[in-house]
Amino acid sequence: MTHTPQDAPQDAPTVALATGREHTREDWEKLAAGVLRKSGRIAEGDADALVWDKLTRRTLDGIAITPLGTPALVGNLTTAGRPDRAGEWDVRGYFADPDATLTANDVQTDLDNGVTSVWLEVGAGGVATDDLAAALKGVLLDVAPVILDSDDPVAAASAFAAVASGTTLADGTNLGADPLGARLRGADVDVDSVVAQVAATAGELGCRALVVDGTAVHDLGASDVQELGWSLAVGAAYLRALVAAGHSVEAAAALIEFRYAATDEQFPTIAKLRAARRGWDRVLELSGVEGDRRQRQHAVTSRPMMTKYDPWVNMLRTCVAAFSAGVGGADALTVLPFDAHLGLPDAFSRRIARNTSALLIHESHLAKVSDPAGGAYAIEKLTDDLAVAGWAELGTLEAAGGAAAAIADGSLQARIDEVVTERELQIALRKRPLTGLSEFPNLDETLPERRPYAAGARAVRSWGHDFEALRDNPAGTVFLATMGTVAAHTARATFASNLLAAGGIATVNPGRNDDVAAVVAAYQGPDGRQPVVCLTGADKAYAEWGADLVAALREAGARWIILAGKPVDGVETDDSCAMGVNTLDFLNRTREKLA
């Protein structure tokens, strides 16, 4: 569902500063416009009010993120389902090592050092069902909640019941069945049967039974609104199945937990978690629940946002995501280790992951305030927009016959594919930069080696998949025809070398060259004679001797010549690269010429 941006608020009141002066919306527009004129983003003759269009950012769902929050944005809004977590969130460790002994050691280490619950992969994606007891050896099940995740949830629940026999389980323990999520990932499961059987086991153990896993669609590329709509549709389906199995709707709701992806897009993540509570509150209200309508939320840092190359940047991504989840009020939070995209994490990356929550809770005191984003006009507006759009997405899924029917007829996947196409286009245009991958890549890095995941581990297509595929297969070297002094050519040489490196292409930079002869001499030197050459210099140099240089380089053997910058009349190059270029198209063309 596409949403047009909210018009700039016309009735925003004045804001009194400590000095006693009052500033209006027009004052802000004038100051912001002055900055944008200096950067060339708006012209001298443009109206100051144009800053709203220039500074408003849009999500993949077309929802506007306003550059300035004002009371007018939320004047008529009413909200429900606000975060009510009291104190620290549950620090949930994720364990997927198929070696039960190593898993047991990792679990004990994490529990001894700040983790408060265990999220365990059981079955084809992690420890074998028969090894569950060994993996949980030493875990005090009455103290540390365990949340299962399995391709065979009935068998996993049965195995866990044997391990937990006679124990009063810690609050938050969940058998983790998500048959609709499994069906979305390609499994052939009987949803109603799985729900009924796992719920019966959960009743015997006194724990929760189901997880509505929004990351099932997120990992496929879904937008925030699609993740919200999917989670509400699946939650509604599980309520129906549980009621059909003999549970009251209140008891059914108490058996369900929700899992959402937290990304490094700070404001949308905060608003998504808040909107999810509002949506579930409405579902339960319509279902006749009059008492507790809270949504129990587990947030996990996004898998697709993480990169294989320069994986240390993932520490920054997951820190922002964790902050956003904490502010958004998640009851439990899993920070995935920074090397999770490479394989099974090591002790150091696990330590960094759990310490991220420790720093946010104990040093940043993020858990001291319930709903710290509450009352922030921009966040409240974004929350409302996401809640309304998520509810409409729920309506779309219900109109298709429910979540299962939307999977079967392909309509859900088709709409997700549209989002994937748009996201990948924005990444290719570098409107959504991926630091260390599409921006500022390091071709000389040595990636840490990690053991592989289990054969049945969930498949995730990372947002930087296309760039990672290029980096996996380096494609030769481009000679930079640097024109003029270092100061004159460095800006474009840096731009071109970073752009080419994003596609696994190295560059040779010969330094200062004052004329055609100097460039050609460098090209013919020991590091030269590459089939592809990129001219890098100032506009003045291009105009004065660019054409002569192109002719001389072709004579010297260059087969494909690129101009760094916009095309220049009279300088007949084969290609050009500048801001706004489709990076993937450009890199693939260049790689073809190098081949």
Pair 342, 219 in one domain: yes
pLDDT digits (tens, 9 = 90+) for 317-336: 999 999 999 999 999 999 99
Confidence of residue 82 (pLDDT cuts 50, 70, 90): confident
Pair 378, 485 in one domain: no
386 assigned to some structural domain? yes
Give the contacts of 133 (CB within 8 A, at least 6 positions apart).
Answer: 159, 162, 163
Pair 477, 390 in one domain: no
State the residue range of the domain holding 215: 90-398
Instruction: Please give the pLDDT value at position 77.
Output: 80
Indicate the number of domains in the chain.
Answer: 2
Work out the number of other CB atoms within 10 angstroms of the CB of residue 447. Answer: 12
Question: Is residue 6 over pLDDT 80?
Answer: no
CA angle at 232 for the pair 418 and 243, rounded to the nearest 5°:
140
Max Cα separation, the chain?
A: 87
In eight-state DSSP terms, residue 79 is -
Of 13-22, 338-347, 448-457, 580-589, least confident by mean pLDDT is 13-22
Work out the number of other CB atoms within 10 angstroms of the CB of residue 468. Answer: 17
User: Is-contact 34 343, C-beta < 8 A?
Assistant: no
208 assigned to some structural domain? yes
Pair 388, 291 in one domain: yes
Give the contacts of 117 (CB within 8 A, at least 6 positions apart).
Answer: 90, 91, 92, 93, 144, 145, 146, 147, 170, 172, 332
Phi, psi (rounded to 5 degrees) for 313: -65, -25
Choosing from 354, 378, 398, the residue where a domain stops is 398
E strand or H helix that includes residue 297: strand 297-301
Pair 223, 314 in one domain: yes
Pair 524, 391 in one domain: no
The sheet with strand 575-577 has its strands ordered as 506-508, 477-482, 532-536, 560-564, 575-577
Instruction: Please give the pLDDT value at position 67.
Output: 92
The token pair at 181 is 């999520």
Phi, psi (rounded to 5 degrees) for 371: 55, 60
103-113 average pLDDT score: 98
80 assigned to some structural domain? no
Work out the number of other CB atoms within 10 angstroms of the CB of residue 227. Answer: 24
Instruction: Please give the pLDDT value at position 138.
Output: 95
The token pair at 139 is 């875990």
Whether the pTM exceeds 0.85: the reply is: yes
Concatenating the DSSP letter of every residue in 176-214 gives EE-HHHHHHTT----HHHHHHHHHHHHHHHTSEEEEEET
The token pair at 485 is 């002094």
Confidence of residue 13 (pLDDT cuts 50, 70, 90): very low
pLDDT digits (tens, 9 = 90+) for 432-490: 999 999 999 999 999 999 999 999 998 898 999 999 999 999 999 999 999 999 999 99
Choosing from 367, 382, 398, the residue where a domain stops is 398
467 assigned to some structural domain? no
Q: Residue 589 sits in a domain of what CATH number?
A: 3.40.50.280
Interatomic CA distance for residues 103 and 508, integer angstroms? 47
Instruction: Please give the pLDDT value at position 5.
Output: 37
Pair 301, 169 in one domain: yes
Work out the number of other CB atoms within 10 angstroms of the CB of residue 16. Answer: 10
Instruction: Please give the pLDDT value at position 72.
Output: 86
Q: Residue 130 sits in a domain of what CATH number?
A: 3.20.20.240
3-state secondary structure of 332: strand
pLDDT digits (tens, 9 = 90+) for 372-428: 999 899 999 999 999 999 999 999 999 999 999 999 999 999 999 999 999 999 999
pLDDT digits (tens, 9 = 90+) for 15-62: 454 556 678 889 999 999 999 999 889 999 999 999 999 999 999 999
**Burial class of 5 by CB neighbour count within 10 A (0 to 12, 13 to 18, 19+):** middle
Pair 393, 477 in one domain: no
Pair 391, 525 in one domain: no
Confidence of residue 208 (pLDDT cuts 50, 70, 90): very high
Interatomic CA distance for residues 382 and 223, integer angstroms? 15
**Dihedral, CA atoms, 14, 18, 21, 25, nearest 10 degrees?**
-30
Find tokens 């000679």 and name the residue: 479
Instruction: Please give the pLDDT value at position 4.
Output: 39
Of 80-84, 159-163, 184-188, least confident by mean pLDDT is 80-84
3-state secondary structure of 15: strand
The token pair at 247 is 């549970």
Question: Is residue 8 over pLDDT 50?
Answer: no
Instruction: Please give the pLDDT value at position 530.
Output: 87
416 assigned to some structural domain? no
Interatomic CA distance for residues 245 and 239, integer angstroms? 10
CA angle at 357 for the pair 356 and 359, rounded to the nearest 5°:
70
192-201 average pLDDT score: 98
User: Is-contact 70 381, C-beta < 8 A?
Assistant: no
The token pair at 313 is 């940047």
325 assigned to some structural domain? yes
User: Is-contact 276 231, C-beta < 8 A?
Assistant: yes
Pair 248, 386 in one domain: yes
Confidence of residue 143 (pLDDT cuts 50, 70, 90): very high
User: Is-contact 154 197, C-beta < 8 A?
Assistant: yes
Of 546, 540, 435, 416, whose CA–CA distance to 487 is shortest?
A: 540
Confidence of residue 9 (pLDDT cuts 50, 70, 90): very low
**DSSP-based helix, strand, coil % in the chain, nearest 5:** 45, 15, 40
Pair 318, 235 in one domain: yes
156 assigned to some structural domain? yes
Choosing from 372, 398, 424, the residue where a domain stops is 398
Phi, psi (rounded to 5 degrees) for 202: -60, -35
Question: Is residue 73 over pLDDT 90?
Answer: no
- Do strands 90-95 and 477-482 pair parallel, antiparallel, or not at all (unpaired)? unpaired
Pair 504, 393 in one domain: no
pLDDT digits (tens, 9 = 90+) for 248-283: 999 999 999 999 999 999 999 999 999 999 999 999
Output the CA–CA distances (angstroms, integers) from residue 246 to 155, 196, 539, in the order listed: 22, 9, 76
3-state secondary structure of 376: coil
Instruction: Please give the pLDDT value at position 17.
Output: 47
Confidence of residue 294 (pLDDT cuts 50, 70, 90): very high
The beta-strand segments (E) located in 468-578 are 477-482, 506-508, 532-536, 560-564, 575-577
Phi, psi (rounded to 5 degrees) for 268: -60, -35
pLDDT digits (tens, 9 = 90+) for 210-226: 999 999 999 999 999 99
How many Cα atoms occupy the beta-carbon half-sphere of 64 within 13 Å?
Answer: 18
505-520 average pLDDT score: 96
125 assigned to some structural domain? yes
494-523 average pLDDT score: 96
